[in-house]
A and B are shown apart, each in its own frame.
Chain A
């Protein structure tokens, strides 16, 4: 781009999706996946699920942030501005989940059913919910990108988190009924997530010229192949086939379901990040 072409047309956001920004996009994806899975695993009493989810958030997501940071040892400063900064709040919530999550996992193993375990469960659940909220509102707060500033985006991303979380519990198994309830929940959440995704994009197309341009980029432009194949065909259609055919009752089917839904979420979040456009300055 020549200097005189800058911000004259719609300008794509690149800092959180190109080069080192890919790590930030991946950290958002793992945060949504991990926190959604943790909440669902808590509900379905899945010890493996909570452990895997904790690892996804603390180790994988945390690791991505550490690799991206200019000075990892200076990351402690990111807890200083909780009053106004969503990233600072997220840092605090993630630290809380790290501690309460360990406590919950250990107590579930050592003292199952005790009041201490219940308290740890509640605290970890609140922390996981807070992490999920931080993930979605960090993106939603950016007023300069109309596609991200939609009221439907937080609901859509939370839905994706729960949707994937049910697939994780399906693979990890649950104490409640061997994962059957998670399978039913997954079917319901597939419909809810698909509907919310459609409504989000539909609403964004009416929310202004810049937002409409972003939706065009996703649905008919440069990101359309990835969106239609990754999100719609693989994420929704293929998952629906597995769920409706009953193949999801098989262990292989559950693993396939998890992979398909993860690909769907990856491609959707990638599309949202890549299609984020700023309005021309004048």
Chain B
């Protein structure tokens, strides 16, 4: 059974934020809505201060808490492991937003904000409103670019290997810090990386079994 997952190499990440921007552009996300973020932490004391950048996104957990708490079934986990939100079914109760321990969901309460206030929508924003409409009053989050994966598979492409079928953030990373593939395939690039470089999820003690791993 396919289980899509991601591995992020923290040694390679230079916190350029390109993945965050690529995601925003790919999905025409409104201002204030982020499906991908970079958590920047400083550790140590002068003169041995170290800055750690950790790209975070929805972990598409195997035991997703958001799916359990959703009263309408809008949050659901697909057979391939991708956790999605059906904005038409979502009633906006925000229980999933509150319950997610990784805080990777956003409640969209106002779509009218523009990136350049009082200057109207940019061409990209206007196109996005038609191509990829977001539902006000519903919850939104990373979907591992499910549209790209599904379209790619229909064309016989391999997500993680073929760019057209791979999430935008993975494609955009210029230092190749992100890897995407099938976690249930022991020979996939992601599985090999996790095995050889001791990949670990973020805060495994939560128990939700994330599908996003980090290597450092």
Chain A positions within 8 Å of B, measured between CB atoms, are: 3-4, 6-8, 11, 13, 15-16, 19-21, 24, 68-71, 74-75, 77-81, 84-88, 91, 138, 141-145, 278, 281-282
Contacts A3-B37, A19-B109 hold; do A282 and B68 have CB atoms under 8 A apart? no
Check if A278 sits within 8 Å of B91, measured CB to CB.
Answer: no
Contacts A144-B103, A281-B56 hold; do A24 and B91 have CB atoms under 8 A apart? no
Question: Which of B34, B38, B72, B89: most chain A CB closer than 10 A?
Answer: B72
Residues of A within 8 A of B56 (CB): 7, 281
Q: Dominant SS at the A interface?
A: loop
Chain A residue with Cβ nearest B136: A70
Q: 3 smallest A-B Cβ distances: which pairs?
A: A70-B137, A144-B101, A88-B71
Q: Which of A20, A71, A87 contacts B69 (CB 8 A)?
A: A87
Within the complex, the shortest CB–CB distance from A97 to chain B, in Å, comes to 17
Residues of A within 8 A of B97 (CB): 15
* B203 lies within 8 A of chain A by Cβ: yes
Other A-B contacts than A81-B71, A85-B68, A85-B69, 18 sampled, CB-CB below 8 A, are: A3-B17, A3-B20, A8-B40, A8-B41, A11-B103, A15-B98, A20-B109, A24-B94, A70-B90, A70-B91, A70-B137, A81-B72, A84-B67, A88-B72, A138-B95, A278-B101, A281-B203, A282-B54
Check if B101 sits within 8 Å of A81, measured CB to CB.
Answer: no
Check if A142 sits within 8 Å of B98, measured CB to CB.
Answer: yes
Tell me the bound Cα distance from A74 to B92 in angstroms. 11
Check if B93 sits within 8 Å of A81, measured CB to CB.
Answer: no
* B52 lies within 8 A of chain A by Cβ: yes
Tell me the bound Cα distance from A85 to B102 in angstroms. 19
Q: Which of A68, A79, A138 contacts B92 (CB 8 A)?
A: A68
Check if A74 sits within 8 Å of B89, measured CB to CB.
Answer: yes
Of residues 32 through 53 on chain B, the ones whose CB sits less than 8 Å from some CB of chain A are 34, 37-41, 52
9 A-B residue pairings within 8 Å (CB atoms): A4-B39, A13-B98, A70-B90, A84-B67, A87-B69, A138-B95, A278-B101, A281-B102, A282-B41
Check if A3 sits within 8 Å of B38, measured CB to CB.
Answer: yes
Residues of A within 8 A of B41 (CB): 8, 282
Check if B65 sits within 8 Å of A87, measured CB to CB.
Answer: no
Q: Can you list, as one digit per residue, whether each of B176-206 has a CB less than 8 Å from chain A (1) or not (0)? A: 0000000000000000000000000011001
Check if A80 sits within 8 Å of B73, measured CB to CB.
Answer: yes
Residues of B within 8 A of A6 (CB): 37, 39
Check if B98 sits within 8 Å of A8, measured CB to CB.
Answer: no
* B70 lies within 8 A of chain A by Cβ: yes
Contacts A3-B37, A143-B65, A281-B56 hold; do A75 and B91 have CB atoms under 8 A apart? yes
Q: Which of A11, A80, A281 contacts B202 (CB 8 A)?
A: A281
Tell me the bound Cα distance from A7 to B97 in angstroms. 14
Check if A77 sits within 8 Å of B69, measured CB to CB.
Answer: no
Tell me the bound Cα distance from A80 to B89 in angstroms. 12
Within the complex, the shortest CB–CB distance from A74 to chain B, in Å, comes to 6
Chain A residue with Cβ nearest B203: A281
Tell me the bound Cα distance from A131 to B91 in angstroms. 20
Check if A282 sits within 8 Å of B72, measured CB to CB.
Answer: no
